[in-house]
Structure 1
Amino acid sequence: MQHSRSTDSRAGVASIPTLLGACCFASMASLRACDTLLPALAAEFSVTLGQAARVILVFGVAYGIFQLVFGPLGDRFGKARVIALCALAGVIGNGMAFLSPDLDWLVAARIVSGAFAAGIFPLAMAWLGDNVPYESRQAALARLVSAGVMGMLGGQWLSGLIAQWVGWRPVFLVIAVLFLVVGALLWRAQRGEPPPAASGPTESGRFRTIAAAPASRRILAFVTLEGALALGALAFMPSLLQRQHGLSLATAGAIAACYGLGGILYTRTAVHLLRRFGETGLARLGGALLLVGLTSFAYVPLVQWAPVACLLAGFGFYGLHNTLQTRATQMAPAARGAAMSLFACCLFVGQSLGIMGVAWLADHEFGRLAYLCAGVGLALLGLMVAHRPSAAGSA
C-alpha cells in the first residue's frame, strides 16, 4: 500500500507540467476573450469601442496588481497549489461575466477574472524555473508558452464564433467550465509535491531586493515597454479588421488568432532558432518581424494579407518575449515566484497603458497609427535587448 501511494505521488508530480499548460491555456483564453467581442459589447451596451475596451483594460490592471500577491504566496505555500486554487477561483469571475446585466457588472467581473488569472502563468514559469536547468529552460518555457498561445487563439477566434452563433455570454460559461476542470485536476496532482522550503525575506523585502539589481530593473523596464506596444495593439486587431474590412466577428477573430499561430510556430522552432541565432539574434529577429507584421497589418489594404501580417507579428513577439522571460527566471532564483510575478506585473501595467493609448486613437479615427508606432518601437526594443546579453545563465 505504501509503495502504491508513492507511485501515485510520483505520477501526480510528473503530470504537473501538462496541467500547468492547461491552466495557462484557460488563463490566456480568459485574457483575450473580449478582444473579438468589443464591437458586440459596444452595440449591446450602447457605448463606444473605447468605452467597451474597459473590459480589457481592467482585466490587465487587476492581473498586474495581483501578481504582487500571488507570487510570494507561491513561494511560501507551493506554486502548483496556488495555481490550482486560482484556476478554481477563475470560475467566479467568468460566472459573473456570464450573468452580467450591464457593462459595469461585466467590468467588475473582468476585474475578478484578472485578479485570479494573475496567479497562473507567472507561477507556472516560476515552477519550471525551479525544476528545469537554465540551458534547457527556454525550450521548456516555449512549450508552456505554446499552451498559453493556444488559449489566446481560442479566446480570440472561438469567442467570435460562439458570439456569432449564440451570443457573447456563453463565451464566459465555456471558460468557467474549463477553469473548473483544469483547476480540480491540478489540485489533485499537486498533492504529490514536496512542501516548499522555509521562506527567507518578507514579501516587500523580496521585491526590493529584485528591483535593486540593475539587470533586473532593465528587464522590468523592457517588458513594460513591450507590454505597452505589443499587447495594446493586439487587443484591437479584431476591431480594426471589422471596422476597415466589414468582417464578421468570427472571421475577424480567426484572422487575429493568426497572431497566436505565429506564436505556436515559434514554439515549434525555438530550439533550432536558438542554436542558429542565440538569444541576442532571436531578440533582433523578433523585433524586425514585429515591425513588418504590425505596420503591414495596418497599412496594406488587402484583407488577404492580414493573416500573414498577424502570423509574422505573433512569431516576432514570442521570439522577443520568450528571450525576456527566460532571463527573468534568473532575476531571483531563491524567490522565483515573486520575481516572475513582478515581471508579469510590469508586462500588464504596460498593456494597460497601451490599451488606453490605442483606445483613444481608435475613438479618434487614428487606429492605424498605433500599429506603426508599436512596430517601430518594438524593433528598437529588440535591438536594445540584443545589445544587453544575459548573464543569467551563470547566476
Structure 2
Amino acid sequence: MKRTLSTPLSSLIAALALCGCGGGHGSPAAYSLRHTFQIPPGAGQPRGGLVADTAGNLYGTASTGGTKRFGAVYRIDAVTGVESVLYSFLGVAQNDAQNPIGQLVFDSTGDLYGVASNGGSNDVGAVFRIDANSHAESLVHSFAPGPQDGALPSRSLLIDGQGDLFGTTTQGGANDTGTVYEITPDGRETLLASFGQAAAGKPAVPRGELALDSAGNLYGTTQFGGSSGHGTVWELASSSRGATVLPTVLHSFAGPPADGTEPVGGVLLDAASGTLYGTTQLGGINDAGTVFRCGVDGSGERIVYAFADISGNDGAAPMAPLVMDSSGVLYGTTDAGGSGYGTVFAVDPASGRETVLHRFGGYPAGDGQTPLNARLMIDTAGQLVGVTQLGGANNTGVIYRLPR
C-alpha cells in the first residue's frame, strides 16, 4: 500500500524518492563516505540531518567550525562533492546565533530556516534564516527566558504548507519545562503550549521532531514525565492552544523491560494508518532502547523492536528520528552498539525484524561515529544519506551513503 507520510516541506522540495526496500534488505549493504569534515577551514561536528534541493545539493548545519568556530551552515555540491560554508555564525557577543542543531527546512522561495541552541539576544537560542540567493543570515526570533517564551530549542523545525514554522524548546514556558511554539512567515512567534512538571506526572522536556496531521494537530515526545516518569507521546490539538495549555498525553512510557524510556527522537506519522513511530534511547528487555508504535489516539502502543545489549553486534541507544519508505520499512541510527560507535538499521514494523545495515568503525578506522540525533534522508536514487557528529579522518564527522 502506498504510504502518505507527514513530513516537513523541505522533504517535498528535496524531491526524495521513496522506494521499496528491495531484495537486498536482508544482507549488509555497501557503504561509502561522501564527505569528511575538517576544522579549519570548514564546518564540523554536525548535529542534524541533511536536506537536498532539486539539483541534489545537500545542506546542513554544523555545531562547530566556520570562521568564528560557533558553527556554520554548509552545502555539499551534488556534482563535485565539495563543501562550501554558506554562513559562519558570529555568536552571542555579536547578537547572533551559535551552535546550530537539527535539520534545516526550506520555504517555498528556497530560503533555509534552522535553530541554534545558544546565542541570540539572550543566549538561550534562536531561529535563523539563510537567504536563498545571497546566503545572508538573519535572526527570525531570539528566545527569552521566563514564562512568556521558550528557551533552548530542541532539534529541528517543522514547516507547513503556509510557511508557518513549528518547534519546541526544552526550557521556558509556564513551568520552565519547555514549550511548543509557532512562527509565522512575517516573524511573529506565538506559544502554543507549555509543558508540566515531571514530578506531578505531567509531560516535561520535549525532545525530537514534531509531526503534523492534515487537521493541524501536532504530535511529539517528551524525555521525562508521564505517569511512570519515563517520558511521553503527546498531542496538541489544533483547537486547543495557548501559552498555558498542556499537551494531551497519548502514552506514558512504563520503562524496562516491557516498555521504552526517554524518547528523544520525536515521532514519525504514517498518515495512511494513523500510526506514530519513534524510538526510545533506553528501555525494552535489554534496556538498550526500542522502536515503538502508537496510534494517533493513543491506542495500541507497543514495542516493535527492542535493541540488544550495548556489548553485542546490535545497536543501542537510538536517538535520531526515523524515516519510512513507501513499503513501510523504517530506517534509523543508534548512537552506540555495533562496533562501539553506533549503527544504521532497518526495521519492518509488520514482522518486527531488524537488520543492521552498517556498524560504524569510528575515528581510529577513519569511519564515522556517533550519529547522535541526525535524521537519515532517502535520496532520489533510493539510497540512505546521513551524517555523524564525530569520526572520519579528522574526528569532526562525516557524510555517508549506503544502499537500502
The two structures have a TM-score, normalised by structure 2, of 0.27
Of Structure 1 and Structure 2, the greater helix share is in: 1
TM-score norm. by structure 1 comes to 0.28
Please state which structure has a larger fraction of its residues in strand.
Answer: 2
Higher relative contact order (CA 8 A, sep 6+): 1
